[in-house]
């Protein structure tokens, strides 16, 4: 899921990992900050997810009839533009207030998670995600998103920081397991299904990579970020930058230079720093 963000805040003073959380200087870089606005591809993914939820939850002939007003309220929520977070939030909260036991509740909670994501309302973001996961613990899209946001917005001084990183790691690992057992919906093409799985796995490996980077586990972080960026036509520039830092800390300077160089080719708040870091890593590789 390629994601773009509004904030650019780079505070890295060196290109090697120092003692302590080096990621504190990388967080909030363009390409990883959780304060992001999904691009058109991401919005399409979200619409597809909501549509699939609606189709998957269509009543069977044996199921009891649903209140037409409930159906209309859900349709209004589903039809609202993903870009109009305020409308989505109002319609979604109204729906859950009126129909808290609806079979559409998990779908609405998931949609609200995306809306609060856009609004940067993190308390409500996590609450909606918790609601969705309480109804469907195997929701790979929500698992990957929450597990991805946590390490990027983490305050290392938070007394719950380690516990939150544990949660992110658990979510991403479970998401990878879920994606591995997914069955293709009948109304989705093979290409759509493959692209959806690839997007989820990319984000999951990206999230895990940043969890491990936070914990100064450079080798594990590099392995995850390599999976998140290899073969991608549009890799996350901060994934590449952090991958370069990981590889530098492992004295794999030529590989680090390649990662920084790829990052330097992508327009972002990290572009100049990546170019400088690539030059530095090349000198170290000699």
Domains located in the chain, CATH noted: 3-57+67-285 (1.25.40.10)
What three-state secondary structure class fits 100?
A: coil
What helix, strand, coil percent values describe the chain, rounded to 5?
65, 0, 35
Residue 8 has pLDDT above 70, yes or no: no
Interior/surface letters 237-251, b for 16+ CB within 10 angstroms, e for the rest: bbbbbbbbbbbbbee
113, 128 contact by CB (below 8 A): yes
Torsion of CA 169, 145, 221, 282, to 10 degrees: -170
pLDDT for position 166 = 97
Residue 64 has pLDDT above 90, yes or no: no
pLDDT for position 53 = 55
Cα–Cα distance measured from residue 246 to residue 218, given in angstroms and rounded to the nearest whole number: 5
Interior/surface letters 10-43, b for 16+ CB within 10 angstroms, e for the rest: bebeebebeeebbbebbbbbbbbbbbbebeeebb
pLDDT, one tens digit per residue, over 193-250 is 999 999 999 999 999 999 999 999 999 999 999 999 997 888 999 899 999 999 999 9
pLDDT for position 51 = 52
pLDDT for position 208 = 97
pLDDT for position 66 = 72
In the chain, beta strands by DSSP E:
3-5, 36-38
Instruction: Give the lowest-confidence range in 35-39, 148-152, 252-256.
Output: 35-39
What three-state secondary structure class fits 234?
A: coil
Instruction: Give the lowest-confidence range in 32-36, 100-104, 143-147, 159-163.
Output: 32-36
**β-bridge partners, 36:** 5
User: Model confidence at 59, in pLDDT bands (50, 70, 90)?
Assistant: low
Mean pLDDT of 177-181: 95
Cα dist. 166→31, 130, 243 in Å? 23, 16, 21
**Mean residue pLDDT across the chain:** 82
């Amino acid at each position: 899921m390629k994601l773009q963000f509004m904030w650019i805040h780079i505070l890295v003073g060196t290109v090697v990992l120092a003692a302590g959380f080096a990621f504190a200087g990388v967080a909030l870089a363009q390409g990883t900050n959780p304060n992001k606005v999904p691009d058109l591809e991401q919005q399409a993914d979200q619409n597809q997810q909501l549509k699939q939820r609606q189709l998957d939850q269509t009543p069977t002939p044996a199921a009891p009839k649903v209140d037409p007003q409930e159906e209309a309220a859900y349709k209004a929520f589903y039809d609202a533009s993903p870009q109009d977070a305020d409308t989505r939030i109002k319609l979604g909260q109204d729906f859950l207030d009126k129909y808290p036991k609806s079979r559409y509740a998990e779908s609405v909670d998931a949609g609200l998670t995306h809306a609060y994501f856009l609004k940067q309302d993190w308390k409500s973001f996590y609450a909606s995600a918790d609601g969705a996961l309480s109804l469907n613990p195997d929701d790979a899209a929500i698992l990957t998103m929450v597990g991805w946001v946590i390490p990027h917005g983490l305050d290392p001084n938070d007394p719950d920081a380690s516990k939150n990183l544990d949660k992110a790691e658990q979510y991403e690992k479970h998401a990878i397991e879920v994606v591995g057992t997914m069955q293709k919906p009948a109304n989705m093409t093979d290409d759509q299904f493959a692209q959806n799985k690839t997007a989820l796995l990319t984000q999951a490996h990206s999230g895990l990579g940043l969890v491990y980077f936070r914990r100064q586990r450079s080798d594990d972080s590099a392995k995850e970020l390599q999976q998140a960026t290899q073969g991608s036509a549009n890799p996350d520039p901060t994934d590449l930058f952090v991958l370069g830092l990981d590889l530098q800390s492992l004295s794999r300077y030529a590989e680090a230079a390649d990662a920084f160089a790829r990052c330097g080719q992508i327009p972002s708040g990290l572009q100049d720093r990546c170019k400088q870091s690539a030059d530095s890593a090349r000198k170290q590789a000699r």
